[in-house]
Amino acid sequence: MKETLDREIYFTPKQAAEYFNLSLSTIKNYIYAGKLKTLKTPGGHHRIRRRELLATLGDMSLCKEDADSLSLMKDLCATVLSAFKALGPIGNSLTMHARKVAAMSFKLAMAMDIDEPESRHIEMAALVHDIGLIGIEKRILSKAGVLTPKEYESVKAHPAKGQEMLVSINQLRDIVDIVAQHHERIDGSGYPKGLNRERIKKGARIISIAEAYDSMVSPYSYKRPVPRNMAIAELMQQKDAQFDGDIVELFIDTIN
């Protein structure tokens, strides 16, 4: 298991390789070349801070040398998403959720006549929109009952935590604000900043609808699904309050 020191998450080289789908030799080579900073334990073992590891993943040499920027972003997002492995079964559910939300968000963006490169950026933001949850206590994420106010406040920190993680990867900086804003609401009552209407990036407005719908209809381990018609009714009820009304209507058309 990963170690937590001073409230930061650290990995052994082997754990880092497993969680981020890299070879152990790649991790070791970066350590020995001084490209990946580590903490030495009293016994002389390397421990890698999560933030340092994520920043290093942005190095082009960790990816295909001939990859274009979009392919690189896709590879990096897939690598970041694999961090959910550390959460066990709940991480599997979050991974499935992320992939479904990404697919729906891309389809919706294209239906809105957003050009394909920007639609792909929205798709990638959707893929990692919940990555900040790996910084939340596993006990809270897997809790079956109602969260306490303190627990809920902890969960609400995940967009900001995701922003903090992704901003360290240069190639993902174009999607950082979308990730940070996916729980903002059109009426300004969302979090973390209480943004409203056009102050919320279009990509975040798209993802908020897709993720709400998938959270309602999908049978994840931590909740029971609701019927599709009930989920659609809830989206319609929240038009121009939680969600962008025009995008809600188009989203419903794209899933029918």
Give the CATH number of the domain where residue 28 resides: 1.10.1660.10
Is residue 113 domain-shared with residue 224, that is, in the same domain?
A: yes
Which tens digit of pLDDT belongs to each residue from 83-117?
888 788 888 889 999 999 999 999 999 999 999 99
pLDDT of 6 reads: 40
- Residue 172 belongs to some domain of the structure: yes
Q: How confident is the model at residue 68 (pLDDT cuts 50, 70, 90)?
A: low
Reported pTM? 0.79
Q: Tokens in use for 50?
A: 């999560």
Is residue 31 domain-shared with residue 87, that is, in the same domain?
A: no
Domains of the chain: total: 2
Residue 52 has pLDDT above 90, yes or no: no
Report which of residues 62 and 236 the model is more confident about. Answer: 236
Section 107-134 average pLDDT? 94
* DSSP secondary structure letter of residue 9: E
- Residue 10 belongs to some domain of the structure: yes
Is residue 24 domain-shared with residue 106, that is, in the same domain?
A: no
Q: How confident is the model at residue 8 (pLDDT cuts 50, 70, 90)?
A: low
Is residue 13 domain-shared with residue 100, that is, in the same domain?
A: no
Is residue 150 domain-shared with residue 77, that is, in the same domain?
A: yes
- Residue 73 belongs to some domain of the structure: yes
pLDDT of 20 reads: 67
Is residue 229 domain-shared with residue 153, that is, in the same domain?
A: yes
Residue 15 has pLDDT above 60, yes or no: yes
Is residue 114 domain-shared with residue 217, that is, in the same domain?
A: yes
Q: Average pLDDT, whole number, for the chain?
A: 85
- Residue 63 belongs to some domain of the structure: no
pLDDT of 79 reads: 79
- Residue 161 belongs to some domain of the structure: yes
DSSP class per residue in 90-117 = HHHHHHHHHHHHHHHHHHHHHHTT--HH
Q: What percent of the chain has pLDDT over 70?
A: 88
Is residue 35 domain-shared with residue 154, that is, in the same domain?
A: no
Domain that holds residue 150: 69-255
Which segment, 55-59, 150-154, 209-213, is predicted with the most confidence on average?
A: 209-213
Is residue 124 domain-shared with residue 222, that is, in the same domain?
A: yes
Report which of residues 41 and 97 the model is more confident about. Answer: 97
Which tens digit of pLDDT belongs to each residue from 161-192?
899 888 878 788 889 999 999 999 999 999 99
Is residue 117 domain-shared with residue 223, that is, in the same domain?
A: yes
- Residue 64 belongs to some domain of the structure: no
Is residue 115 domain-shared with residue 23, that is, in the same domain?
A: no
Give the CATH number of the domain where residue 248 resides: 1.10.3210.10
Is residue 96 domain-shared with residue 8, that is, in the same domain?
A: no
Residue 2 has pLDDT above 50, yes or no: no
Out of 12, 34, 57, a domain closes at 57
